[in-house]
Structure 1
């Protein structure tokens, strides 16, 4: 479900649920949160690369699992996911996302929660929550840390999807690679960061935390309440019902 290897002071975390397009189930969120906390305390690790097993980076929350929950259960699950993503910004080591394939919904926001983002040009970025019937329930502060509020609103409405190059042009991602090379590029960047003086890298990340994270916890709390209200309306109910019965 979550693989980890360490080489040249770089930890590579690979979400490994390819049969579910690496969707964020409860067990995976718990595993990510625990692994981030462990690597944060590891003096050998100077940077982390977060990626997904082919063919996707991450398809967001596991809607099949969400479809089995009541609304309070879904809100609690999304709040737990939100706390995992916010933790990335509080780590002392930089985290670089390596995105191939799909970065959808929570997968999109998980990537933007990282310090740097490398995307393959053939990647597909989108936030499909509003078309599904609800507002994204967490992580929008990470998006407005990268793009303007007006651009974030455009993206959140979810009527567009973006290629890797378009994601870089908008500011969603930082670097674009040829398809199939995002992990290699992200690893090279991570190795360069890991070779820098650790204390100075840590201080740089901490210096920008207030601007990058800001009121992220409050934003997530408010988005969670909006999500709960949205999920009482027919479009969201029908979406969740459709995913819950899929095998």
Structure 2
């Protein structure tokens, strides 16, 4: 995780380009530490989360998950979920800047942020069902932004969508020209950072019950379905590629 500070904006960069910025356990630990440090720093008024070029995030690190038992995978995904939910309880706005693609857990991590800026040509996709399982966390964040019917179609993931379609659905708050998502996100963060910090924090606190609802319970439920799915034949075919231990 690379960390930069621009005025009152803290910029966090998931810097694993060799793994397409996949979400491994260490990456998530670093993200949580960086978020907590930003929360404690009175000089930081807003946070931007991006991925090292050329993309935002490819989702869970399947090579890492493939070394775990199914129970171990569930524990890993529940910890990832807990860290993603922490974004909503911070007092400072967190903005995702999406370029290239946001896949699987990367898709969900982006929409777990308070605001999402996406390049028009960015590829958004939830490929988990095609792999044989339900996305194991973050579906409350999806339901916060789109209707249950739209969420179900997105989770089935029969076709990827681009940034334009993501904005039309409500997944994306600001649509940027190709290659301009980070610049737009930083500019948005600077505008939010210029607002009275106490009022910004009060706004997050007021809306938190409506955006988080029972996210923790739903993550536990999704993880349970995920575990059941992972014992099925389609998931087993996928998992064998990554040498999952039973």
Where does residue 206 of structure 1 map in the other structure?
205
Cα distance in 1, alignment partners of residues 118 and 240 from structure 2: 32
Q: Any idea what SS the aligned residue of 2:227 has?
A: helix
TM-score, normalised to structure 1's length?
Answer: 0.97
Shift of 1:129: 0.4
Where does residue 157 of structure 1 map in the other structure?
156
Q: Is the 8 A contact 1:65 1:244 kept in 2?
A: no
Q: Any idea what SS the aligned residue of 2:241 has?
A: helix
Shift of 1:38: 1.3
Question: 2:114 matched to 1:115?
Answer: yes
Shift of 1:243: 3.8
Runs of 4+ in structure 1 displaced over 4 angstroms?
none
Q: Any idea what SS the aligned residue of 2:183 has?
A: helix
Number of residue equivalences = 244
TM-score, normalised to structure 2's length?
Answer: 0.98
Shift of 1:218: 0.2
Cα distance in 1, alignment partners of residues 26 and 38 from structure 2: 18
Shift of 1:244: 4.5
Q: Any idea what SS the aligned residue of 1:172 has?
A: coil
Structure 1 gaps of 5+ residues are none
Question: 2:132 matched to 1:129?
Answer: no
Where does residue 37 of structure 1 map in the other structure?
36
Aligned-CA RMSD value: 0.9
Shift of 1:151: 0.5
Q: Any idea what SS the aligned residue of 1:208 has?
A: helix
Cα distance in 2, alignment partners of residues 244 and 56 from structure 1: 26
Q: Is the 8 A contact 1:47 1:94 kept in 2?
A: yes
Q: Any idea what SS the aligned residue of 1:180 has?
A: coil
Which deviations, in whole Å up to 9, do the C-alpha atoms of 1:110-145 show, x marking residues without a partner?
000000000001100000000100000000000111
Give 1:34-183 correspondences, 5 Å limit: 34-183=33-182
Which deviations, in whole Å up to 9, do the C-alpha atoms of 1:13-69 show, x marking residues without a partner?
000000111000010011111111111111000000000001110011001111111
Q: Is the 8 A contact 1:97 1:186 kept in 2?
A: yes
Structure 2 gaps of 5+ residues are none
Cα distance in 1, alignment partners of residues 226 and 144 from structure 2: 21
Cα distance in 2, alignment partners of residues 3 and 135 from structure 1: 31
